[in-house]
Amino acid sequence: MGEGEDIEAMRDSLRRGDPRDLAAVFTSYRDRLRRMVEFRLDARLKGRVSTSDILQEVYIDTLKRLPHYQADPDVPFFIWLRSVTIQRLIDVHRQHLGARARDAARERRLAHGGIDASSEKMAELMGDLTSPSGAARRVETIALVREALDRLEPTDREVLALRHFEELSNREVAAALGIQTAAASKRYVRAIERLKESLERQPGFGEETG
């Protein structure tokens, strides 16, 4: 994401501990945060929880936690802001799903304290992109993609989610995962190759129906 000099100046003021520019900086990232929230929010909360309300709470959280960012200014501001948003999402899940949220957390690895990318959600979005003809064919495609994603290591799946569904840059992915930029690039290439291999092993994937 290209940032203008005005946004960079605002971020510099935040690093110095001046919160007056926070609203403008937050607004500049709002669409990206919204995309992440909608992607990570549990499907069971659809219609029960407003993305706008979550982002409003994130803004308040950000204002309160700004000193934490000042203590580690080398972290890209958006990545820090994303981590605040992830924590708010975790709280929302616990609040609305209670024990069920804790059970789900035990069933899957949480990526660096966050919320793992859902194979089901990723498969649905990828199914939309492939646009197979017919509802039955689409359902079959989604099932095959989900199975292929489930075979990936959690980190590989997370890298794909960050790059393709949250649309993070390679540098941002590296910062989000706490690894070097070169390592993030290698993980992404590996994840693509493993997903392709997994899909190719799926009987019927890519075959056209008559």
Domain limits, the chain: 5-111, 117-200
**pTM confidence score:** 0.76
Amino acid in position 203: P
- Over the stretch 146-182, which tens digit does the pLDDT of each residue have? 888 888 888 888 999 999 889 999 999 999 998 999 9
Average pLDDT over residues 99-117: 49
DSSP string, 103-145: HHHHHS--GGGS-PPPHHHHHHHHHHHH--SSHHHHHHHHHHH
Question: Phi, psi (5° rounding) for residue 169?
Answer: -75, 165
Inter-residue contact 88 to 54 (CB < 8 Å): yes
Give percent above pLDDT 70 in the chain. Answer: 75
User: Could you tell me the fold of the domain covering 5-111?
Assistant: Rna Polymerase Sigma Factor; Chain: A (1.10.1740)
Inter-residue contact 201 to 193 (CB < 8 Å): no
According to the model, what pLDDT value does residue 112 have? 43
Is residue 117 over pLDDT 80?
no
Is pLDDT larger for residue 12 or for residue 152? 152
CATH number of 117-200: 1.20.140.160
According to the model, what pLDDT value does residue 113 have? 44
Q: How far is CA 57 from the centre of its chain?
A: 18
Distance CA 157, CA 154 (A): 5
Distances (CA, A) of 21 to 3, 71, 179: 15, 18, 30
Question: Phi, psi (5° rounding) for residue 138?
Answer: -65, -45
Amino acid in position 52: S
Inter-residue contact 117 to 165 (CB < 8 Å): yes
Distance CA 200, CA 121 (A): 20
Q: Dihedral through CA 25, CA 54, CA 161, CA 178, nearest 10?
A: 60
- Over the stretch 183-193, which tens digit does the pLDDT of each residue have? 999 999 999 99
- The two structure tokens encoding residue 127: 């199914």
The sign of the dihedral angle between the CA atoms of 142, 144, 145, 146 is: positive
Question: Phi, psi (5° rounding) for residue 207?
Answer: -85, 135
- The two structure tokens encoding residue 184: 């993030």
According to the model, what pLDDT value does residue 9 have? 73
Is residue 129 over pLDDT 70?
no
According to the model, what pLDDT value does residue 67 have? 79
- Over the stretch 40-94, which tens digit does the pLDDT of each residue have? 988 888 888 999 999 999 999 998 888 777 767 678 889 999 999 999 999 999 8
Return the ∠ at Cα 189 (arms to 187 and 191), rounded to 5°: 65
According to the model, what pLDDT value does residue 210 have? 43
